[in-house]
Chain A
Amino acid sequence: MKGRSSRTVLLWVANLLGVAAFLWPFVLPAAIGGQEAHSVDAPWILAGLVGAVGGLLFVELGRGGLGPKAVALIGVLGAAMVVLRLPGSVGGFSPLFLVVLIAGNAFGPGFGFVLGATGLLASALFVGGLGPWVPFQMVAVGWVGMGAGVLPRSGGWRIRIAALALYGFVSGYLFGAVMNLWSWPYIAGGSAIGWDATSGPAANLANYGRFYVLTSLVWDTFRAVGNAAMVLLIGRPMLGALDRAARKMDLTVRSPATSSGGSA
C-alpha cells in the first residue's frame, strides 16, 4: 500500500515539475536573459526533473512498485523504442511513438508515462544526443503515453484502434506544440510571433498560434499523419500482443477466504 501511494505522489510530482519546467519562463519573465533557450535555468530544471523522474523510476521499478515483471517489460519496450529511433525521423515523425502509443494504451497511464520517459532517455543516450531539451522531451513523450493510457479500453477493436489513431494524430500536433514552449519565449521574443510579457494572454496565444503555424505545422503534420498511419496499419496485432501481456501483468492477488493476502 505504501508503495502505491508514494508512486502516485511521485507521478504527480514528476508531472507538476514537467508543467513547471515548461511554464515558468512565462511567470518569471525577468529571468530570461540569454540567447540560448533555457541556458540558465535548464541545468536546474534538468536536475530537478531527472531527480524526480529518476525517483519515480526508482520507486516504480523497485520493490513495492511495478514489480519485476513490469521492470522486465519496460526494459524490453524501452529497448524497442531505442531501436525504432535509429533510422531517424521523417519531418517530426519517428516510429518510436508507435511503441509509446500502443503500450500506453495497453498498460495504462502510469506505465505509459514511465515507459515514455525511460525509453526517451535511453534513446537520447544512444541516438538523439543529450542536451537541455532531453528532460522536456522525456516529460512530453511521457504525456503522450499517459494520454494513450487514459483512452477507453472497452469497445471493439475497431473503436479502440480508431480512437488510438485519432489520438496519435492529435498528439502528434500537441507534442510539437508543447515541445515548442520550452524555447519559444527565448527565440522569437519581441516580434509579432514572439512572446511579450507586457501583452495579455489572448495576444500571446495569438502570437504563439502564428509562430506555430509558421515554424512547426508542416513538421508536426508528418508526425500526426505518421502516428495515425502506423496505428491503423500495424497497430492491431501489436495492441493484441501488448494487451495480452498487460492482462498477465495484473498482479493483484485476491484471497477471499483468508486475510493474509495482499497486493503483490
Chain B
Amino acid sequence: MTAAVSIESVSFSYPGESLRVIDDAILQIEEGSFVLVTGPTGSGKSTFLRTINGLVPHFTGGVFQGRVLVGGRSTVDVTPRELADVVAFVPQDPGASFVVDRVEDELAYAMENLGMEPHTMRRRVEETLDLLAIHDIRGRSVRTLSGGERQRVAIASALTPGPRVLVLDEPTSQLDPQGAEDVMAALQRLVHDLGMTVICAEHRLERVAGFADLAIGCGGGRFTIGEPHDIVDRFASGPPVARLGRLAGWDPIPLTVREARRMRGTMPSPPPIEISGAGAPILSASGIVASYGDKQVLHGVNLLAAEGEIVAIMGRNGAGKSTLLRCLVGLHRHEGSVEIRGSKPVPGRTIALCPQSPDSILFKETVIEEVQATVSYTRSGVDVTTVLSALGIAGRSHRHPRDLSAGERMLVATAATVAGGAPVLLLDEPTRGLDLAAKEKLQDYLRRYVAARGAVLFATHDVELVAELATRVILLANGEVIADGPPARVLGDSPVFAPQMARVFGPGWLTPEQVHGAMSAGEARTR
C-alpha cells in the first residue's frame, strides 16, 4: 500500500491572521481508503480539504509551511490545474462551481480540459450518469436543478475524469436520507472496486460513519488520523448510536445501526407515543396548489400548526418542501389560502423565513450589526446578545459574517431571522454545516422560541434533528401530504425516515437519551 496523500508537517494561516487553522499536521492517507473528516463547526475541515488539491494556498495566499504530496507531487510546486487528473474536489456549495450550462456537458468538462479521447468521454459520462442515477436530468440546464440534483451532478462531474483521490466537502447536506445512502454506497463501490481514495467531511455522521475505514479528527488546528470508532469517540459527539453507546458505557462505541444491534442486549418495551396537546391554531393553510412552469408540484396541501408546535416538513428530494414554504410566506404563486391567527400573513412581521443560502441576507460588516439590523427593521425589541449567545456564536460577534465557516454563516442567518420575533418562523434546512453542539443549542433556542412566540416549521432531510426537536412531522410525497402526526408514529416504521434509535430498538424510539432512560429504568426494576 502506498500513500495517496501525504501531509508532511503542514501549518497554515490565512493572510493577515496569526491563528493557525492547521497546526503542524502530519498524516498519511493510504490508497484505497474511505476517510471521514470530522470535527466541530469552524474547526478548519474545509481548509484542510482544500490543501489536498492545492486550492490552499494557491487561491487563498497566507502562510503555508511543510508540504502536501499527492501522487508524488507537492501542491505548492504545481497549481491546482496540474493536479486535476489526480485529485477531484466537490465544494460545499455545488451550484456555484458549475461551469457549463447542460448537465451532460458539465460532466464532460474536466475530461475535455484533460484532453481525453471523445469515445472515452462518452463511455465515462454514461457510466457516471448510471452510477449516480441522474440519467433523467442529463439534458437539463444546471441552473434549473434542485439542491439534491446539484449535489449529485457535482459529484458526478468530479468522478468522470477518473481521479485517484476524491475530496468531498459535506456532500450529502442537501440529499434526502435514501439519496445520501445511495451516493455513499456508490462511492464505496469505487473505493472497493477501483482503489480510489475518498476523503469526505460530513457533519451527519449517521450517514457516513458506516462507510469509513479511516477517520481524521480535527480541533484546535490539530489533525489526528485513526480508526473511525476511536476518532469519532474523541472528536465528535454523534451519531446517535455512538451517543447511546457512550451513555450506556459500551466499548467500543458503535458507529452503525448494525453494530448497535449486536450490543443492545434486552430490548426495552416501546414507549407510549406522546401526542402533544394541541394549542390554539396559529397557522392554517388549505388547498395549496402550486406549479413550476406547467408542472404542478403541490396538489392541494392542507396544513395546520398550533401555538407551541415545532413542525418538521420532510420528504424526498423534489417532494415540494421548499415550494410549500415559499407558498406559506407568499413568495410563490399559489391557489388556496394561508392565514396566521385569522389574518393574512405579513412577510417579515407575522411570518419569517430563513433562506437555505444564508449569503443572500448577510450584508453588514459584523455579526452583531447583522442581527441588530433585523431588530431595527421589525422593532421586535429582541436582545441581540441573548440570541447570539443562545445560538453559540457570541464569540463571533465582531467578525465579518462572510469570513465565517458555512455552518457559522447559517447560524448568523438564523439569528438574523429569529431576531424579528415573528409568531410563525420558517426554516429551510437549518442544520447544514452544524455540529451536534451547535444543533443542540439551536434546538433549545427554538423550544424557547415557540413557548414565547408561536410556532416553528422547518423543512429538513436531517432525520435525527426531527427525532430530537419536532413535535409533529408532515411527510410530503409528490406534492401531497401522505402522513401527519407525532414523529414517533410517522418516522417509526418508515424504512427511509426512521431515526437510528428506531432502527435499533424498534418503532417508537427517537433519541439516545430516551432509550438510555428506559434502559436504566429497566435495570433498576430487575435489580
Contacts and interface: CB of A to CB of B under 8 A. Distances in A.
> Does A pair with B?
yes
Interface of A: 68-69, 237, 240, 244, 247-258, 260-262, 264
B277 to A, nearest CB: 48
Interface in B1-50: 9, 15-16
Interface in B394-428: 400, 402-403
Q: What 4 A-B pairs come out closest when comparing CB atoms?
A: A251-B61, A253-B57, A250-B15, A250-B61
B195 interface: no
Contact of B64 (A240, A244, A249, A253): A253
A68 B55 CA distance: 12
B61 A255 contact: no
B8 to A, nearest CB: 10
B149 to A, nearest CB: 26
- How many chain B residues sit at the interface, stated as a range, is 20 to 34
A264 B15 CA distance: 13
B16 A251 contact: no
Contacts of B57: 253, 264
A253 B400 CA distance: 23
23 contacts: A68-B59, A237-B363, A244-B403, A247-B15, A247-B16, A248-B60, A249-B61, A250-B61, A251-B58, A251-B59, A251-B61, A253-B57, A253-B62, A253-B63, A254-B62, A255-B63, A255-B64, A255-B76, A257-B9, A257-B66, A261-B76, A264-B57, A264-B61
B77 interface: yes
A237 B363 CA distance: 9
B174 to A, nearest CB: 25
Contact of A244 (B59, B65, B74, B402): B402
Given A251-B59, A258-B67, 20 more contacts: A69-B59, A244-B402, A247-B15, A248-B61, A250-B61, A251-B58, A252-B15, A252-B61, A253-B57, A255-B63, A255-B76, A256-B63, A256-B65, A260-B67, A260-B74, A260-B76, A260-B77, A261-B76, A262-B76, A264-B57
A248 B64 CA distance: 15
Contacts of A256: 63, 65
B157 to A, nearest CB: 19
Contacts of A240: 365
Contacts of A255: 63-65, 76
Contacts, number: 56
B27 to A, nearest CB: 18
A253 B66 contact: no
Nearest to B58: A264
A260 B365 CA distance: 36
A41 to B, nearest CB: 43
Contacts of A254: 62-64
A253 B76 contact: yes
A261 B64 contact: yes
A63 B363 CA distance: 33
Contacts of A68: 59
A68 B54 CA distance: 14
A247 B400 CA distance: 13
Contacts of B400: 244
Contacts of A258: 65-67
Nearest to B402: A244
A174 B525 CA distance: 91
A223 B176 CA distance: 56
A264 B60 CA distance: 9
A138 to B, nearest CB: 29
Nearest to B65: A257
A251 to B, nearest CB: 4
Contacts of B64: 253-255, 261
Contacts of B61: 248-253, 264
Contacts of B74: 260
Contacts of A69: 59
B69 to A, nearest CB: 12
A148 B62 CA distance: 26
Nearest to A251: B61
Contacts of A250: 15-16, 61
A244 B60 CA distance: 13
Nearest to B59: A69
Contacts of A252: 15, 61
A43 to B, nearest CB: 39
B487 to A, nearest CB: 42
Interface string B359-388: 000010100000000000000000000000
A256 B363 CA distance: 36
Q: Which of A244, A262, A264 has the most CB of B within 10 A?
A: A264
Nearest to A245: B402
A264 B67 CA distance: 15
A247 B77 CA distance: 23
A260 B68 CA distance: 12
Interface in B101-131: none
Nearest to A237: B363
Nearest to A260: B76
Nearest to B365: A240
Contacts of B59: 68-69, 251, 264
A185 to B, nearest CB: 47
Contacts of B58: 251, 253, 264
B13 to A, nearest CB: 10
A106 B338 CA distance: 47
Contacts of A262: 76
Contacts of A264: 57-59, 61
A255 B57 CA distance: 10
A261 B63 CA distance: 10
A235 to B, nearest CB: 14
Contacts of B77: 260
A256 B403 CA distance: 25
A248 to B, nearest CB: 7
A256 B63 CA distance: 8
A240 B362 CA distance: 13
Nearest to A263: B61
Contacts of A248: 15, 60-61
Contacts of B63: 253-256
Interface in B270-324: none
A72 to B, nearest CB: 11
A262 B402 CA distance: 28
Nearest to A157: B365
A58 B16 CA distance: 29
A244 B16 CA distance: 12
Contacts of A244: 400, 402-403
Nearest to A236: B365
A255 to B, nearest CB: 5
A251 B76 CA distance: 13
Contacts of A251: 58-61
A254 B12 CA distance: 10
A28 B74 CA distance: 57
Nearest to A240: B365
A165 B60 CA distance: 31
Contacts of A247: 15-16
Contacts of B15: 247-248, 250, 252
Interface in B208-252: none
